[in-house]
Amino acid sequence: MKNKQTYEQKFRRIAAQVQLAALPEAEQAFLREKSYQHRLTLQELRQIVEMALDFATWNETSIREVWPNDDLSPKLAGKAAKAKVIERIRRHWDALKQAANCYRNVGPSIKPPTQKSVLVRREKEKLGLGYCPVASLKTRCCNLMTLDTVENCGFDCSYCSIQSFYHGSRVYFDPRFAEKLNALQIDPDRVYHIGTGQSSDSLLWGNKYGTLDALTDFARRHPNVILEMKTKSKNVSYFLKHEIPKNIICTWSLNTPTIITYEEHLTASLQDRLGAARKVADRGILVGFHFHPMVHYDAWKQDYSEIFEMIQKRFDPLEVALVSLGTLTFTKPVIRQIRTRQFQSKILQMPLVDAGGKLSYPEETKLEMFRHAYDCFQSWHNEVFFYLCMENNRLWKPVFGYEYPSNAALEAAMKSSYMEKIRQTKAGRSSASRTSYGVA
């Protein structure tokens, strides 16, 4: 009895380190008993808890159902039995990750509880201008500069990296944002590419606290700045009521209806996003489309193909500055956050392999998805700028037939292409195509 009490004290310390409390109480009690029975070490319990959290998040069988109880060899005992138990659980976990995900039988309970965002005005020490927060020397990067117009997002995408550094429902606006932006020193002889969609959605909040007024004025005063606003919303009312400088590009992150329904919670539907993009393009504003992340599941090829066809029917390539491709890439903190959120998602039900210090799909899976996407856009190859977002350079040539020798070379090519499209738009060369491509 004393031995069990001693182990229980040890177990409580271990449980705090392996996030056991994120599991249902019945599973916590089950693992407490099994932990004592097999004398699990901290590392062994951590592995089992992580797999148990994955089973729960993926809406698969629970750890209690997976645990091998009666069919172990009677000759096995002690460490041998423990090793066999862990091996069986891991084999089941690996099999689920290797199989193509299927969302058809997933019920509505997969959605997390809706949280109402609380908008807070809080002054920051600095403007919040820097470089892409997920940039890595191990991947080909366009050297995008990022401007933290708003901090935290009102959407709830299961895979989003924002959840690893912003928590809760508070969304922060700097009351002196316009003043700080106005004071920013811009070299008139240099072309800048600045994105506002890294720490929050660019358009979700509209012109709250005058943010879009400040950004529009900034772009108008600095025609050598390419200002990209990236969104998953349909909120484009500001752009329909105001004259927008041609160096502002509105881009939409797109995904299949399946992924939007089950993984991109609270965001606009695919049709609403495309409809919003069409309205903006009709105003003579350049648009772009990000397929990042592309998600591999059983119906991915057919579902993404339909979107690619839809876009080419609704938009003239002269209206489109860019199409980017990328896929799920995780840091360990984001994975830990997803596992403890206590809502169902299949986003981590995938084979995670090293990808430049992060975790992602195997390269053969990436190549299959990216090649298919690029092939579907064949008629746009020479008219729209295509690129891989934060992917290893060795993927470029098999997908596009070319590659860039450095991040600086990609950056220069991208800026040159965007600026040429901006000049075309200023000259009115796309007005005729907008008339013929307009969709109600």
CATH class of the 118-437 domain in this structure: alpha beta
Give the pLDDT confidence of 337-391 residue by residue, as tens digits: 888 777 789 999 999 999 988 999 999 999 999 999 999 999 999 999 999 998 9
- pLDDT at position 71 is 60
Q: What are the CA-CA distances from residue 218 to residues 179, 212, 222, 251, 322 (Å)?
A: 11, 10, 6, 18, 22
Give the pLDDT confidence of 162-218 residue by residue, as tens digits: 766 666 788 999 999 999 999 999 999 999 999 998 889 999 999 999 999 999 999
Q: Is the pLDDT of residue 24 over 90?
A: no
Domain segments of the chain: what residues? 2-98, 118-437
The C-alpha atoms of residue 207 and residue 210 are separated, in whole angstroms, by 5
Asked if the peptide bond before residue 293 counts as cis, ω within 30 degrees of 0, the response is: yes
The C-alpha atoms of residue 309 and residue 6 are separated, in whole angstroms, by 64
- pLDDT at position 36 is 85
Mean pLDDT for the chain? 89
Q: Give, for 252, the enclosing helix (H) or strand (E).
A: strand 248-253
Give the pLDDT confidence of 123-145 residue by residue, as tens digits: 998 898 988 877 777 789 999 99
- pLDDT at position 344 is 84
Strands 192-195, 225-231: pairing is parallel
pTM equals 0.91
Sign of CA dihedral 208, 217, 272, 232: negative
What are the residues whose beta carbons fall under 8 Å from the beta carbon of 16, sequence distance 6 or more? none
Residue 273, number of CB atoms within 10 A of its CB: 21
Q: Is the pLDDT of residue 440 over 50?
A: no
